[in-house]
């Protein structure tokens, strides 16, 4: 019986082909843009990466899961595919271009398949070619899913970094810190505000924490709840929290919503809040009289 007939089914024939021609496939893939532009240290690095992908495909075929992107065989190469996708994204390639580069891996493998099964019947060759095409299509899907997932993770990390940058903690005085809030507050940002403020309370040994909402355009019930939670958390850390910057429009909104901020210290401006905190710390505040003032 010829070697290519040992598998018995198109899927197992493709598995055996991948194992027999592992080296040749990897060598051809190493010259394709996807591998050549990612693995730039040496060509051998690209070949080894190609072999790892071929092994994964053979494992998937062995499990008869050529259409399943969640097949166990793909798990081992997801990290590698993520690296490749990230590299190509940094090079400015769109997802469509990346998909085209992945699709370009099929013809070299398919040409080797035809040569490898030259003694097979036309029907078997056709079925094996279709199976290989489906398997490579699933690989493309896995690669794109991985790239998109990595891209979303990067976006999430950058968004968190932006939130942290947009939520600075300022030391106004020994024992007094302030967080000036600008823009819309949502759940994610409110969580960052709370964590940032509490860390500052601990690091600065602060007795007072000022939340200045002068730059917050609107206050709804959700924002108010977040403020209340932050105030309560600061209190548990041993710091009194003061909310400043409540403009007339926001005050009216709070009243209309029936929100109870009775347990929260509030001041009209950041200066008023700072004055209150300094007074509570026992500091005396006097207005400086310019030279010559009051003299005739």
Residue 5 has pLDDT above 60, yes or no: no
Same domain, 89 and 186: no
Cite the DSSP H helix spans in the chain.
10-20, 22-29, 33-36, 43-62, 72-90, 95-103, 106-116, 122-165, 187-204, 221-236, 248-257, 270-280
Q: How sure is the predictor about 289, in pLDDT bands with cuts at 50, 70 and 90?
A: low
- Do 191 and 135 have their domain in common? no
Segment 150-171 shows an average pLDDT of 66
12 and 155 both lie in a single domain: yes
Instruction: Write out the residue range of the structural domain in which residue 266 sits.
Output: 170-280
User: Does residue 98 share a domain with residue 77?
Assistant: yes
Indicate the average pLDDT of the chain: 84
Verify that 114 and 217 share a domain, yes or no: no
Predicted pLDDT at 61: 95
Q: Residue 1: its pLDDT value, please?
A: 34
Helix (H, G, I), strand (E, B) or coil at 254: helix
Q: Are residues 155 and 204 in the same domain?
A: no
Q: Is residue 104 part of a domain?
A: yes
Average pLDDT of span 75-94: 78
Name the CA dihedral angle for 69, 141, 48, 25, rounded to a multiple of 10 degrees: 100
Residue 228 included in any domain: yes
- For 227-258, the pLDDT digits (tens) are 888 889 999 999 999 999 988 888 888 788 78
The Cα–Cα gap between 174 and 237 comes to 17
> Is 7 in the same domain as 88?
yes
- Quick one: 210 and 241 in the same domain? yes
- Residue 155 banded pLDDT, cuts 50, 70, 90: low
pLDDT digits 0-9 by tens, 94-149: 778 888 988 999 999 999 999 999 898 999 999 999 999 999 999 988 888 877 77
For residue 165, being part of any structural domain is answered with: no
pLDDT of residue 99: 84
Predicted TM-score (pTM) of the model is 0.56
188 lies in the same domain as 141: no
Predicted local confidence at residue 26, as pLDDT: 95
Work out the average pLDDT over 156-163. Answer: 62
Whole-angstrom Cα distance, residue 14 to residue 120? 13
Are 138 and 81 contained in the same domain? yes
| 166/5: higher pLDDT | 166
| pLDDT exceeds cutoff 50 at 221 | yes
pLDDT for the residue numbered 31? 93
Burial class of residue 203 (count of CB atoms within 10 Å of its CB; 0-12, 13-18, 19+): exposed
Report, as an integer, the average pLDDT of 189-217.
Answer: 89
pLDDT at position 193 is 84
Q: Helix, strand, or coil here: 225?
A: helix
What residues contact residue 54 under an 8 Å CB cut-off, 6+ apart?
18, 22, 25, 26
pLDDT at 152: 62
Q: State residue 154's pLDDT score.
A: 58
Tell whether the model's pLDDT for residue 3 goes beyond 90. no
**pLDDT for position 158:** 63
Q: Looking at 159, 192, 214, which one is the last position of a domain?
A: 159
């Amino acid at each position: 019986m010829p070697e290519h007939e040992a598998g018995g089914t198109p899927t197992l024939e493709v598995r055996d082909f991948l194992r027999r021609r592992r080296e040749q496939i990897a060598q051809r893939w190493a010259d394709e843009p996807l591998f050549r532009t990612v693995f730039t240290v040496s060509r051998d690095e690209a070949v080894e990466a190609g072999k790892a992908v071929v092994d994964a495909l053979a494992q998937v075929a062995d499990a008869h899961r050529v259409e399943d992107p969640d097949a166990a065989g793909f798990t081992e190469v997801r990290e590698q595919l993520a690296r490749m996708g990230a590299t190509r994204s940094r090079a400015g390639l769109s997802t469509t271009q990346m998909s085209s580069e992945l699709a370009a891996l099929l013809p070299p493998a398919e040409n080797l398949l035809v040569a490898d099964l030259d003694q097979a019947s036309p029907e078997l060759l056709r079925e094996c070619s279709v199976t290989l095409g489906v398997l490579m299509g699933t690989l493309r899907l896995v690669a794109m899913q991985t790239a998109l997932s990595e891209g979303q993770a990067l976006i999430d990390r950058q968004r968190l970094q932006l939130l942290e940058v947009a939520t600075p903690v300022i030391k106004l005085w020994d024992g007094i810190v302030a967080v000036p809030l600008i823009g819309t507050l949502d759940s994610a940002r409110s969580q960052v505000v709370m964590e940032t403020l509490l860390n500052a309370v601990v690091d600065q040994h602060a007795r007072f924490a000022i939340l200045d909402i002068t730059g917050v355009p609107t206050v709804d019930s959700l924002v108010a709840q977040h403020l209340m939670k932050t105030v309560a958390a600061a209190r548990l850390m041993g710091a009194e929290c003061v909310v400043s910057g409540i403009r007339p429009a926001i005050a009216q909104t709070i009243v209309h919503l029936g929100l109870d901020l009775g347990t929260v210290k509030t001041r009209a401006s950041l200066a008023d809040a700072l004055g209150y905190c300094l007074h509570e710390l026992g500091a005396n505040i006097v207005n400086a009289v310019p030279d010559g003032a009051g003299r005739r």
